[in-house]
Structure 1
Amino acid sequence: MNCWKIINFNKEYGINRLYLQSFLIGLLAFVLLYVPFSIKHGTISMNESGILPLIIMVSCLPILHSFVHILPLVMMNKRARFIYKRNTIFFPVINYYTKKQLTKKASLLAAVAPTILITIPGITAAYLYSEFYVYFLIFTAAHIAMTYTDFLYISYIARAPKQSFIENRNNEITILVKNETKSAG
């Protein structure tokens, strides 16, 4: 196997820049989602009993996000493990690492799974439950901010060669390609 590309956004962009971009994308997502939903739901009295579940769900969101990344891998019988680090008081850093190399399709499926299984149901719940739509939008916008780096990885993986393999280790992703050996004769 030859290494096609090594992706480590913490080294390329810096962790503070990634956090700032994620925050701004989450804020933009909330604003862009809030306007049409507030027009759709009109002036409905907000149920204030949703603030405590929102705080609990947003604090559990990093763990839930990581579990949803691993869910497709478990369903495909791929082995993965969690690495839990507590850098700050509020936000734990949870990464997952695969034991073996994944195909490009499996890696893309694992990367897009949180968007399919958390963001889309959050938007649907905001549409269906008019009394709590703001809470669902806040939760969904926070999750969209978390998936920013996922979509950066997806953009690199999507541009990789078709038969490539993805290795996820040491907080970086390595895209590997099989050696093309030609026999003499």
Structure 2
Amino acid sequence: MNCWKTINLSKDYGFHRLFFLSFLTSILAFIFLFLVWNMIFESKQLEDNGLIYVVIIAILLIPGHQLIHLTSLWLFRKKVKLTVKKKGFFPFLTVKYCELLSKPVAVLTVLAPLFSVSILLLSLSLLFPQYIHYFTILAAINFGICVSDIMYSYHFMRAPRKCFLEENKGGYDILVMNTEKVS
């Protein structure tokens, strides 16, 4: 197998640019989602009890994001190594793929947190329209966390059809089969 492309977002864009893009995406997602939901439920009075729950859920979104990656890989019966590092008060989960992933599996795995958490939060906002401001804040935070996943999936989608993905330190290698015949 040959390496077709190496993707490392930290090297390509830098931490500060990724953080700014993520922050900007969160703000724009909140503005858009809140305006749309507020136009749909304009007659509902918003309630402001429950801010502590929003803060707790927002803190748990990052480990939950990693757990969704882990769960989606388990559903595809892929071997995964999970490590938990505690930095200060917060636990940080790291998911490491132990085998090559096909292109469809990689795209679905990378985008699983974006779709699952967003669908859950937007469905809850339909069920509890008095809390749409809280659910849109959480959905916007989720969009911001998923910016790097969206960027990775963009690169994966542009890769050759029958490629494999291997996780390396800080990114991914897109591998293609060697087509040369050896005599």
Give the TM-score band, short-chain normalised.
over 0.9
User: What residue in structure 1 maps to residue 95 of structure 2?
Assistant: 96
Preserved CA contact (<8 Å) 1:72 1:110: yes
1:116-155 → structure 2 map (5 Å cutoff): 116-155=115-154
**1: distance between equivalents of 2:113 and 2:62?**
11
Structure-1-length-normalised TM-score = 0.91
Structure-2-length-normalised TM-score = 0.92
Preserved CA contact (<8 Å) 1:73 1:80: yes
User: What residue in structure 2 maps to residue 177 of structure 1?
Assistant: 176
1:58-69 → structure 2 map (5 Å cutoff): 58-69=58-69
Measure how far apart 1:96 and its partner are: 1.6
1:75 is aligned to 2:75:
yes
User: What residue in structure 2 maps to residue 22 of structure 1?
Assistant: 22
User: What residue in structure 2 maps to residue 6 of structure 1?
Assistant: 6
**2: distance between equivalents of 1:53 and 1:10?**
32
User: What residue in structure 1 maps to residue 108 of structure 2?
Assistant: 109
Aligned residue pairs total 183
Measure how far apart 1:84 and its partner are: 4.2
**2: distance between equivalents of 1:54 and 1:133?**
12
Measure how far apart 1:43 and its partner are: 4.7
Measure how far apart 1:42 and its partner are: 1.5
- Letter of the 1:140 partner, please give it: A
User: What residue in structure 2 maps to residue 50 of structure 1?
Assistant: 50
Preserved CA contact (<8 Å) 1:8 1:171: yes
Instruction: After superposition, give the CA deviation of every residue in 1:7-47 in whole Å (9 maximum; x if it has no partner).
Output: 11111110111000000001000001111111221253322
User: What residue in structure 1 maps to residue 162 of structure 2?
Assistant: 163
Which structure 1 segments of 5+ residues have no match? none
Q: Which moved more, 1:156-165 or 1:32-41?
A: 32-41
- Letter of the 1:110 partner, please give it: T
Which structure 2 segments of 5+ residues have no match? none
Measure how far apart 1:116 and its partner are: 1.9
Instruction: After superposition, give the CA deviation of every residue in 1:79-113 in whole Å (9 maximum; x if it has no partner).
Output: 112344566x5876543210011111111110111
**2: distance between equivalents of 1:59 and 1:165?**
33
